[in-house]
A and B are shown apart, each in its own frame.
Chain A
Amino acid sequence: MNAAMLEVRDLSLAYGDVQVLFGVSLRVDEGEIVTLLGSNGAGKTTTLRAISGLRPPRGGEVLFSGQSLLAVPASKRAEMGIALVPEGRELWPLLTVRENLELGAYTRSARARSAANLEKVFRLFPRLRERHAQMAGSLSGGEQQMCAIGRALMSEPRLLMLDEPSLGLAPILVDQVFDIVRTLHQQGITILLVEQNLQKALEVARRGYVIETGSVKLSGTSADLLADPAIRSAYLGL
C-alpha cells in the first residue's frame, strides 16, 4: 500500500453558529486521483478550504505527508506542495494571463523555476500563450479554467485540488477539462477532484467519497460507487 499523501480525520467546521462539516474523514494516497462527490451545499468546497487553510476547522486533523497542517498558514501550505484550483476560478480579472500565472509561482521555491514552468503551462495550454497579454477577466469560461489550472501548476504541486472544474462549462469543454486532469495525473501529480458531475468524475478517479450534509456517507472504488443502487437513483437518475 502507498503512503497517504493527504489524510483528513474527523474534520468538523462551522461558519459562525452554522456547523457545516460533521466529522469528514478521507485519505488520498500518493499518485492517486480521488474524487469528492456530493450535491450543492454538502460541504465539498468547505472541506477543500479547510485543507488549503482558508478556514480554520473546529475539530479534527489534516495531515499532509504525515505532518499536521493545522498550525500551518494557508500561504505556507502552497509552499509545501498543495495547490487549489478554486471553485469559480478566482482569477485576478484585471491582471493579465501571464501575471496570473506568474503569481502562481510566488513561493520562494517555485520562483526560481518560474520561467521553465511558464513554458510548460503554455505547452499544455497553447491557448494561454496566444492570450498571455490579455486581461484574465476577458477570457472565455474554458480559457479561465485553463488559466486557473495553469496558475496552480506553476507552483509544481504534489497535490492538486480541483474544485468543480467543470462548473459552468459547455459539454465539449467539460470533456477537455477531464482530459487535462488525466494528463496531469499521468505526469505524476496526485489529484483530489471535487465534482457534482458524478459520471465524469468516477470515470477518471480511482476511488471516491460521497459527502452529504457535512459527513461522508459512502466511499469506495469508482466501480463500486457507480454500481451502488443508492447512488444510481439519487445522483444519476437511473
Chain B
Amino acid sequence: MKLLPHWVSRPALVALLAALVVGAVLPKVLGLSVYSQNQVTETFLFVAAALAWNWMGGYLGQVSFGHSAMFGLGGFISARLLLALHLPFWLAWIVGGLVAAAYALVWGHPTLRLRGPYFSIATIGVGEATRLVMTYWEDLTGGSSGLSLPITPGLKSELYWWALALMALVIAASYSLRKSTFGLGLLAIKSDVDAAADVGISPTLMQDIVLLLSGFTVGVCGAFYASYQNFIEPGDMFGFDRSISFVLMAVIGGVGTIIGPALGAVVFVMLRQYLIGSYPQLYLGIYGLLLIVVILFEPLGMMGLFFRIARRFGLMRPEVEATLEAKAAVGGGAADPGARQGGAP
C-alpha cells in the first residue's frame, strides 16, 4: 500500500522530522534564556508567515504588498474572540485565519485579474486602505490605543511549541504546494497564463485557492502574534512595514524556492533585533539597501548564493541544480519589478 503521494520524497520527509526534533530539543540542550527562547518563537512565526506570503509572491509570481491586511485582521479578530468569548486560543486563531482568508478573497478575486507590477501596486492600496479603516474602527481594534489581551502565566513558553508546530505545518504545505500536480499548475500560470488556460488549468480558480491558503495562514500568524505579544495596535499590525517585511524575508532568502523564505525570515528577525538596537532611525533604510543589493546581484537571494557555491564545488549534479534554480526563477520578470518597489520606504 502506498501511504504517501508520489511527489513526497523520503529525504524531504526525513529532513522535516529531523528539523522538528532539533527544534524540540534545542532550548533544553542549549539552556536558552527566556529571552532567547522567545526570539526563536518569533522566528518560527515569521518563517511560517514568509512561506505563506511566498505561495502568492513566489509560486504564483503575484507579489503582494498588502499581506499586513490579513495579518492584522487575523490578529484583531482572534483578540476580540479571546476577550469576549474566552475561546481556547487555538480556536480563536483558526477563526481569525478564516476571517482573514475571506477578506483576502474579497479584495483578491478582482485584483488578481491584474498581473505582475500592476497587481503589486493594487495591493499597496488594499493594505493602506485596510490600515486606515482599521485605525478608525475602534469597536474592533480599539483605535490607536490598541487592544490588550489578558496575560496568562506560562503562555509564552507554551507558545514555543505551538510556533514549532505551525512552522512545521507550513513547511510541509509549502513543499506539497510546490511538488504536487497543483504546484505544477501554479508554475504554468506564473510563466504563461494563456498557455495554462489552453491546457485546461483555470487560472482564476487556482489563484483564488492560493490566495485563500495564503490569507488564512498569514491570518493565523497574526492571531498567534496577538497572543504572543499580549498587546496589539493597528498601526503595527496593519502597517506598510509589516507588508514589506514579508516581501523582504522572501527576497533575502530566495523568492519562489521552497525553503528560501524560511532562511530569509531567520536572517530578518536576527538582523532586525540588532538594527533596531543599534540604528533605530536607519534600520528601514538599511533594509531598503539590502533589498536593492540582493535584487541586483543575486535575485534568488540566499538560495541563489547556495546554488552558486554548490556548483563551484561540484556538490550538485548540474541538471538538478539547473531545474531547481529554474523553477524558482520561472516568471522571475513578474517578481522583480514588484520586489523593486519595496526599496522605496
Interface residues of A (CB under 8 A from B): 52-54, 73-76, 78-79, 83-84, 86, 90-96, 99, 102-104, 106-107, 110-111, 133, 135, 151-152, 154-155
Contacts and interface: CB of A to CB of B under 8 A. Distances in A.
B236 interface: no
B194 A106 contact: no
A173 B192 CA distance: 26
Contacts of B200: 75-76, 78-79, 106-107, 110, 155
Contact of B198 (A54, A110, A133, A135): A54
A238 B65 CA distance: 61
Contact of A86 (B187, B195, B322): B195
A90 to B, nearest CB: 4
Contacts of B319: 133
A75 B202 contact: yes
A99 B183 CA distance: 11
Contacts of A92: 187-188, 191-192, 195, 330
Nearest to B206: A75
21 contacts: A52-B198, A74-B197, A75-B203, A84-B198, A86-B195, A86-B198, A92-B187, A92-B191, A92-B330, A93-B191, A94-B191, A94-B329, A94-B330, A95-B326, A103-B184, A107-B199, A110-B200, A151-B199, A152-B199, A154-B199, A155-B200
A128 B261 CA distance: 35
Interface in B153-207: 181, 184-185, 187-188, 191-192, 194-205
Contacts of B323: 96, 135
Contacts of B330: 92, 94-95
A152 B205 CA distance: 22
A106 B201 contact: yes
A135 B192 CA distance: 15
Contacts of B327: 94-95
Contact of A103 (B185, B203, B322): B185
Contact of A74 (B184, B191, B198, B322): B198
B329 to A, nearest CB: 7
Interface of B: 181, 184-185, 187-188, 191-192, 194-205, 319, 322-323, 326-327, 329-330
A79 B181 CA distance: 17
Contact of A78 (B194, B199, B322): B199
Contact of B187 (A90, A95, A110): A95
A106 B197 CA distance: 10
B202 A103 contact: no
A103 B197 contact: no
A126 B203 CA distance: 32
A73 B197 CA distance: 9
A93 B330 CA distance: 9
Contacts of B205: 75
A224 B239 CA distance: 71
B342 to A, nearest CB: 24
B90 to A, nearest CB: 35
Contacts of A78: 197-200
B195 A90 contact: yes
A99 B323 CA distance: 11
A57 B184 CA distance: 30
Given A75-B202, A135-B322, A155-B200, A90 B194 contact: yes
Given A90-B194, A92-B187, A155-B200, 8 more contacts: A54-B194, A74-B198, A76-B202, A83-B198, A95-B187, A95-B326, A106-B200, A107-B199
A102 B326 contact: no
A152 B200 CA distance: 10
Contacts of A52: 198
A102 B195 contact: no
B202 A111 contact: no
Given A90-B195, A135-B326, A155-B199, A106 B187 contact: no
